Amino acid sequence: MSLIVCMKADRAIILGADSRGTIGDPRGLTAINDSYLKIFPMGRCGIGIAGASEIGTALLDELRKQGSDDLTDIDQTISIVRNESTQCFNNWFGNIPSIQRPGVLLTVAGYRRRTSAQPDPMIYLLNSQTNFAPQLFGHMPCMTGVPQYAVYLVHRYYDPTISVEQAKCLVEYLIAETASQDPKVGGPIRIAEITPEGYKELNESEVETIHQRNESLNQQLRQFFMRGGR
């Protein structure tokens, strides 16, 4: 299982994911692998993948072959991702109805370029069980995989005017807090910043700095309550 979080900030889109893959009945874990790659660039856009991990990894491999620096617009990327994903699933699963196929969720984020205005930040969700029909997100973040804890926290802390640095902190916090409550999410957290100029992933040290800052604030809040609100 996974948690993919994608949110708009004032000057960028922030995309983050855990790295845990689970094997066995999701109601009771039997094996864990914390080395899954779940976010990656495609041209100047970013893609996050959640759901059936082995099928998702195979689809990811096919999509990465289509990546090109020539892909500068989200509409181009969505078209390629949808066509390639649909073709792969049809080849792999034949006449099995979409709703009965393995569930794979693709978060695709990037900018729509217009000649007369600033590029527009766009976030789409494509679901294998709805034949990868693009679902467009507005102001609220897109969260897939195990989103219930993150949804609660987003409603408390997210604001559409959030800065890029604040959004990075919030994305890390949502994933780390979910991992603390649900063992289907875990492993190293990866975060990427998507701007009209392209996709840039934070290194491990940068993510760890964000995590330590968040943990420090969490500890201050715990101490506040332990002191009786003083």
Domain edges within the chain: 3-226
DSSP assignment of 84-114: HHHHHHHHHHTTS-GGGSPPEEEEEEEEE--
- pLDDT of 9-32, one tens digit each? 999 999 999 999 877 665 665 677
Return all residues near 166 (Cβ < 8 A) that are at least 6 apart: 9
Global pTM reads: 0.92
pLDDT of residue 224: 85
Report the pLDDT value the prediction gives residue 212, as an integer from 0 to 100: 96
> In the structure encoding, which two tokens stand for residue 199, read together?
């996709």
Q: Which CATH number fits domain 3-226: 3.30.450.20, 3.60.20.10, 3.10.100.10, 3.30.43.10?
A: 3.60.20.10
* pLDDT over threshold 80, residue 123: yes
Amino acid identity of residue 197, one-letter, is E
